[in-house]
Amino acid sequence: MTNKTALVVSAHAADFVWRAGGAIALHQAKGYAVTVVCLSYGERGESAKIWKEPGVTLEKVKTARRLEAEQAAKALDVHDIQFFDLGDYPLEMDKEAKFRLVDVIRKVMPTFMMSHSLWDPYNTDHMFATKVALECRMIAQAWGHNPHEKVLGAPQLYLFEPHQTEQMNWKPDVFLDITEVWDKKYAAIQCMVGQEHLWTYYTNLAENRANHFKRNSGGQSGGRNAKYAEAFQSMFPRTVDEL
């Protein structure tokens, strides 16, 4: 059984695909067990195409978005995907729901975590999800929460790339080459038929970040080539023995 794990906290059912699908597939291939928690289906604010269909209901939209996310998770080889079904626009969590996420964190004991940018004026659900991820990470570290359970260490929280990054106070400090798993990510992207307008955008973004990966790995004088990459911002300092 692997002891390398990761946890992705996604505000809506498609966010983990656009923003971290490559990281998920790559780390699954490297022997990690990656768990994805979708706090909502994005049924109200992330499903415009489905709402335009005649006779659609809220439950039909939720069912469609769940199916898309499950198919995408399968394409990425996700170890486990969980749906909290908390509603969106706005996304809200009471103490019970937060403790539910804490339970997941303690069960997974992630080597690292991922969630959204700290600031997103276009979609406050996103930054709320990260606020909650940070809060629940803190609670999972507390010896007094459910005493005698094993407490969480200090996993890095990577903030994945938001839409319109220049508006989000988000600055990447990690570029990840996802070329070898791009076919899996694009297969997952194609599962998101409710947001087909984003397929090209996130393909172009992966190509642009690959250019940044090459430049920051040595530039034209020996930089490692990459065709597709994802970018992340570290929330906490990283401890190293050498640079």
User: In the structure, what pLDDT confidence band is assigned to residue 221 with cuts at 50, 70 and 90?
Assistant: low
Cβ-contact 72, 25 below 8 angstroms? no
Polymer length in residues for the chain: 243
Long-range own/partner contacts, residues 203-209 (CB < 8 A, 24 or more apart) = 205/161, 206/22, 206/178, 206/182, 206/230, 209/161, 209/175
Closest CA to 218 of 180, 186, 175: 175
Give the type of residue at 34: V
Q: Which two structure tokens, joined as six digits, stand for 9?
A: 């906290």
Domains assigned to the chain: 5-233 (3.40.50.10320)
What distance lies between CA 70 and its chain's CA centroid? Answer: 14
What distance lies between CA 170 and its chain's CA centroid? Answer: 15
Mean pLDDT of 18-33: 98
Say yes or no to pLDDT of 223 above 80. no
Strand pairing category for 156-160 and 33-38: unpaired
Q: Which uninterrupted H or E stretch holds 169?
A: none
Strand pairing category for 112-115 and 80-83: unpaired
Give the C-alpha distances (Å, rounded to integers) separating 152 from 106, 130, 142: 6, 17, 8
Q: What is the pLDDT of residues 162-186, one digit of tens each?
A: 999 999 999 999 999 999 999 999 9
What is the chain's alpha carbon radius of gyration, rounded to the nearest angstrom? 18
Neighbour-count burial of 147, counting CB atoms closer than 10 A to its CB (0-12 exposed, 13-18 middle, 19+ buried): exposed
Which are the contacts of 168, defined by CB distance < 8 A and separation ≥ 6? 117, 119, 120, 162
Q: What is the pLDDT of residue 1?
A: 44
Mean pLDDT of 20-45: 98
What percentage of the chain carries pLDDT values higher than 70? 98
User: In the structure, what pLDDT confidence band is assigned to residue 218 with cuts at 50, 70 and 90?
Assistant: confident
Q: Which uninterrupted H or E stretch holds 199?
A: helix 199-216
Q: Which two structure tokens, joined as six digits, stand for 211?
A: 């250019």
Q: What is the pLDDT of residues 94-125, one digit of tens each?
A: 999 999 999 999 999 999 999 999 999 999 99
Q: What is the pLDDT of residue 125?
A: 98
4 three-state secondary structure = coil
Arithmetic mean of pLDDT over the chain: 95
